[in-house]
Amino acid sequence: MIAEIGAFALILALALSVAQAGLSFAGRMRRSSALAGAGEGAAIAAFLGVAGAFAALMHAFVVSDFSVANVAMNSHSEKPLLYRVAGTWGSHEGSMLLWCLALTGFGAAVAGLGRTLPRGLRALTVGTQGLLGTVFLAYTVFASNPLARVLQPPVEGRSLNPLLQDPALAVHPPFLYAGYVGMSVVFSLAVAALIEGRVDAAWSRWVRPWALAAWSLLTVGITLGSFWAYYELGWGGWWFWDPVENASFMPWLIATALLHSAIVTEKRGALAGWTVFLALAAFTFSMLGAFLVRSGVLTSVHAFAVDPTRGVLLLIILGLTSGSAFALFAWRAPTLGQGGMFAPVSRESALVLNNILLAAATATVLLGTLYPLIREAMSGEAISVGPPYFNLTFTPLMAALLILLPIGPLLAWKRGDAGGAVKRLQIAVAVAVVAAVAVGLLVAPRNTWGALGVALGGWLIAGALAEIAERTRAFRAPWAETRRRLTGLPRGAWGMTLAHLGLGVFVLGAVFEVSWKVEAAEALPVGGALDVGGYHVRLAAVQGVNGPNYDVDRGTVVVTRAGAPVCEVQPERRLYLAGGQTTSEVGICYRGLSHLYIVLGEQRDGGAFLVRAYWNPWASLIFLGPVIMGLGGLVSLSDRRLRLGVGRRRKEPAT
């Protein structure tokens, strides 16, 4: 019965989303508080309905109820509990339900927390959110019902793709989806502002917390996915420019641009049209990602759907929602105000440049992702666009952005002093030069691009710190003064510093890993050894073990350096019983910031195992950097200035 209650709750949520849209728009048109309030009630009820359906599906997965078709297709009674729970969103249908849960959740959040939004804007935002909910819930209910039943349930389920049975991947989709779908609020706010004809500083301040929250969640989600790819796929890499990775990266790039352009709109009232455009584009890219993953046009572990008609439906949804929003934009944008003027060298100009570079970078990623698909559809010829393309297009744009990044925050609004800013960054310049020279001289083999990349990372980190030092007059004013200024800095400023610092940390790790990674592969008998990056890697033993739903060849690998023991890791090769697929569990030996990464491959004739070992220097920074960035987003989100709460208003003097 629980499954059927869930199915009913899902359909009820669809009906409530229709009511949410109708009541909210009618409320705005008639300026009726009661209707708008009813629309908000429907938004909250719709979220509770989807939450009920989600709980019912999770219950079906936990108790292995194979009379639910989705469970039969994607679960197995012997799967560990964590992966039965995670199986809820491990399939196309379940992940659509997660998408709807996030969508209605954000709608309910606007309805419940949006008290400080102007009436009309709030009603239109809730209404737009209701329209989005209607479209996606209708798609889920009619074309991808996760709670569809079968009358003759199979004895056993087909199980979840073993690659997805991993802790990082169990939590990666909720973060990613919360991030993707968080952009829907920004989208709805933009549509509402276009209808109201009101895009001003106040509006951008209302947009910022939602954009920040979505951006931070997306940052964490992408990082988790990348970390998973790093240690689960066993290819020794962490980013493959795979279309699915690009699909998550494009909304991130656009959201990053949006966060920066919204500052200009907030502080100076300028760039209003562009900010609205980005707000619409961010969710459009989220939906494009959803389409790419589900259309069957990609082959990847992420490619759920096998059914092109579902893909076409999603393409229609994408066209309708984004198409009408951009049409509204084309119609209403000319009425938006111009805002304040600014000089070519100013904080505003720096942020505009940031936006141009980020938008261009997004365009290159979009081209690199879609071109092979379009070409294959047109001529049937499969081509692959890989790292060489992105290294030539994306990387130079990003490098330019990163070189300019530390200068921007040191420029004044309206009219800045570029020379002064660079002068204040003397220390950062010095750090970058010293880093490049030191790396060039000390790290073998010589790698000029690597040294330049390390300089860039140093420049970013030192630049972020120099900016804080500048704002607090560190080393120039007495310590008491600096401390007073430090404690007085708004959280938003700390958030920015952390985000920029995190980017520098990431760049350091990425450059070091890419430039100086060493790999070795050999078929080793038990007792055999290979050398990589100065380490001696010996396959001491391989033992057969039974896992919960898989059999394991568990290697014991002993690592020594110049005879001294360093560590012992146990890479695994797993054979999943349902489906008979094999996966590898990488053994990673952490050496400071660097990783010694060991993969146990298949057994060759004669009993030797193929062992691959990688020395990935500073690889930890690749994942630490984005975590710092996400943290920066959350710190910025906690800035009281963003909380336009009712409670605070009481403290203002009455007028």
**Directed axis angle between helix 243-268 and helix 201-232, to 10°?**
160
Interface with other proteins includes 451 (CB under 8 A)? no
- Comparing CA positions, the residue from 585, 588, 599 lying closest to residue 623 is 588
> Which residues between 283 and 312 bind other proteins (CB under 8 A)?
296, 299, 306-308
CB of 516 to other proteins, least distance (A): 38
CB of 618 to other proteins, least distance (A): 35
User: Using CA atoms in the order 445, 435, 260, 385, what is the torsion angle rounded to 10 degrees?
Assistant: -10
- Comparing CA positions, the residue from 428, 418, 489, 498 lying closest to residue 212 is 498
Alpha-carbon gap, residue 176 to 173, rounded angstroms: 5
Can you give the three-state secondary structure of 560-591, one letter per residue? Answer: EECCEEEEEECCEEEEECCCCCEEEECEEEEE
Total number of residues that touch other proteins (CB under 8 A)? 93
Binding mask 243-272 for other proteins (x = CB under 8 A): -------------------------xx---
> Which residues between 566 and 585 bind other proteins (CB under 8 A)?
575, 577, 580
Q: Which stretch binds other proteins (CB under 8 A): 94-102, 118-126, 274-282, 320-328?
A: 118-126
CB of 647 to other proteins, least distance (A): 13
Sheet of strand 587-591: strand arrangement: 518-524, 609-616, 594-603, 587-591
Among 50, 57, 60, 635, interactor with other proteins by CB under 8 A: 60
Maximum CA extent, the chain? 88
Neighbouring residues of 602: CB distance < 8 A, sequence distance ≥ 6: 573, 582, 609, 610
Among 63, 312, 343, 374, interactor with other proteins by CB under 8 A: 63
- Comparing CA positions, the residue from 393, 357, 631 lying closest to residue 500 is 631
Among 8, 235, 240, 326, interactor with other proteins by CB under 8 A: 8
Task: For 629, list phi and psi in degrees, rounded to 5.
Answer: -60, -45
Interface with other proteins includes 9 (CB under 8 A)? yes
Among 22, 251, 406, 626, interactor with other proteins by CB under 8 A: 22
> Which residues between 347 and 406 bind other proteins (CB under 8 A)?
none
CB of 69 to other proteins, least distance (A): 9
**Directed axis angle between helix 33-62 and helix 119-143, to 10°?**
30
Binding mask 541-560 for other proteins (x = CB under 8 A): -----x----x---------
CB of 14 to other proteins, least distance (A): 7
Binding mask 154-173 for other proteins (x = CB under 8 A): xxx-----------------
Interface with other proteins includes 33 (CB under 8 A)? yes
Burial profile 152-162: b = 16 or more Cβ within 10 angstroms, e = fewer: ebeeebebbbb
> Which residues between 311 and 340 bind other proteins (CB under 8 A)?
340
Interface with other proteins includes 418 (CB under 8 A)? no
Contact 147, 56 (CB under 8 A): yes
Q: Which stretch binds other proteins (CB under 8 A): 110-118, 323-331, 514-522, 529-537?
A: 110-118
Interface with other proteins includes 44 (CB under 8 A)? yes
Alpha-carbon gap, residue 646 to 146, rounded angstroms: 40
Among 375, 485, 491, 561, interactor with other proteins by CB under 8 A: 485
Which two structure tokens, joined as six digits, stand for 327? 């049409």
CB of 254 to other proteins, least distance (A): 26
